[in-house]
Amino acid sequence: MSVKPMTLVILLLAIIVSSVGVVYARHQNRMLFVELQALGYERDRMDVEWGQLQLEQSTLTTYGQVEQAARNRLGMINPAPDTLVIVKP
pLDDT digits (tens, 9 = 90+) for 23-67: 999 999 999 999 999 999 999 999 999 999 999 998 888 888 888
Which residue from 69, 47, 72, 51 is spatially nearest to 60, judged by alpha carbons? 69
**Model-wide pTM > 0.75:** no
Yes or no: say if 47 and 53 are a contact pair by the CB < 8 Å rule.
no
Yes or no: say if 36 and 42 are a contact pair by the CB < 8 Å rule.
no
